[in-house]
Structure 1
């Protein structure tokens, strides 16, 4: 291979490596980030501050991921580039949202407390702990209330959707652990199935239209662990479940 051809071949590979440095390998997180946002926008109607909010939300997630990596490794300089880029993106967008709707500042203490939980687990290198994942779920679901505040919609109007998403995402955290990191752990399997059973009852109380979907989620939590599904297959199934939950929540509420 000529020198020119070698240089051409290495440039795309180098570009891919650089892109991977700025994108965390947390593919399942994107559904958790986008599902509450999509539901919130659909329920309250479009408002222009929702666009900078989306940018601040996604950039803020990426900023927090690399901040927690810096805390975990005790090597902040290693992630200085990512922290700078995502900080410069998230900060001005967040300021735009705040100037447009100052009331969103009321959510700052809640997010600060939840992020402190994440930081604490990162410091102890236990970011896969169940409580840490639940703190992340709470951050995502709270976005429904943030969107309602931006639109001037009473929180009570979106509270049922918030609860339905919270039930789904908490259940998904438990279920995915039984499929991957806690595979074969009977205690986690009982926790997952038990939570899904409670979630089914709670979802049916919120709206009977949710019952068939949460029954399907319960069946998936009970039947799929132990079948040796690869993580990619588990992820594809969850994408389908997320879309199903999205559709039914929008119909119900």
Structure 2
């Protein structure tokens, strides 16, 4: 799965060092096996946390989390191999992350076989990612949104493990889907499309419409989305550094998680 702030494999993981500062073996190993996609972690953890906190923890949720994270890392290097057309370059990463993904994913499916119903959805969405990676156009908006849907489906997966019907987590799913889709637009206005008036208007409009819809769904969630709309209107154009954008989104993610759980 790709990330919301840097969807897909933007470039090969850095293996070199800064001039005059040779990288330690440990740092080189981290750069080789951990992708520089910091925004992806919130996108991965938020739906899992929302799902578990909504339906209650069951033991398969823990191996599911590890398989989910290792599966993201596996997909990152898989898409990078597709993009660069050099799969042999990433054989080590693919092997390392395939093992826990298959073993722990298999354990979860063995415990809850009905999870296999989600396989076609994830396969289709991953195919979208692969297609954009092959075209080297992984920054496309549709590719970002496909990754958002992949992430949000985890809410339903967590519910299925707890034998909770989809209706029991629909509000959580819709809330996270609206938040992450809006964040795709917002982050583009802060980094990749910071000079695009069209993207800025689209982001503000989406956030305002979403806030209005969320008020109808749940006033508590709606109030949180008003704050998100305010940040989508006020922050673009202020030349914030990516690290500052990330810190703000950590706070926004926690706000959305809190509103989702208490609503």
Tell me which residue corresponds to 1:171: 182
C-alpha separation between the residues in 2 aligned to 1:22 and 1:202?
41
Tell me which residue corresponds to 1:249: 260
Match of 1:150 among 151, 161, 166: 161
C-alpha separation between the residues in 2 aligned to 1:19 and 1:184?
33
Tell me which residue corresponds to 1:48: 59
1:88-117 CA-to-partner distances (Å, cap 9, x unmatched) read 111000100110000000000000000000
Provide the TM-score with structure 2 as the length reference.
Answer: 0.91
Point out the structure with max Rg over C-alpha: 1
1:170-221 CA-to-partner distances (Å, cap 9, x unmatched) read 0001000000001110111111011101110121121011122111100100
Provide the TM-score with structure 1 as the length reference.
Answer: 0.94
C-alpha separation between the residues in 1 aligned to 2:163 and 2:207?
33
In structure 2, stretches of 5+ residues that fail to align are: 1-20
Superposed counterparts of 1:1-253, under 5 Å: 13-252=24-263
Q: SS where residue 19 of structure 1 aligns?
A: helix
In the TM superposition, residue 15 of structure 1 has moved relative to its aligned partner by 1.2
Q: SS where residue 136 of structure 2 aligns?
A: coil
Tell me which residue corresponds to 1:6: none
1:131-168 CA-to-partner distances (Å, cap 9, x unmatched) read 10100100010000011111100110100110001000
C-alpha separation between the residues in 2 aligned to 1:125 and 1:247?
37
Higher relative contact order (CA 8 A, sep 6+): 2
* Number of aligned positions between the proteins: 243
C-alpha separation between the residues in 2 aligned to 1:16 and 1:178?
32
C-alpha separation between the residues in 1 aligned to 2:57 and 2:238?
43
The alignment's C-alpha RMSD in Å is 1.1
- Which of the pair is proportionally richer in helix? 1
C-alpha separation between the residues in 2 aligned to 1:243 and 1:45?
18
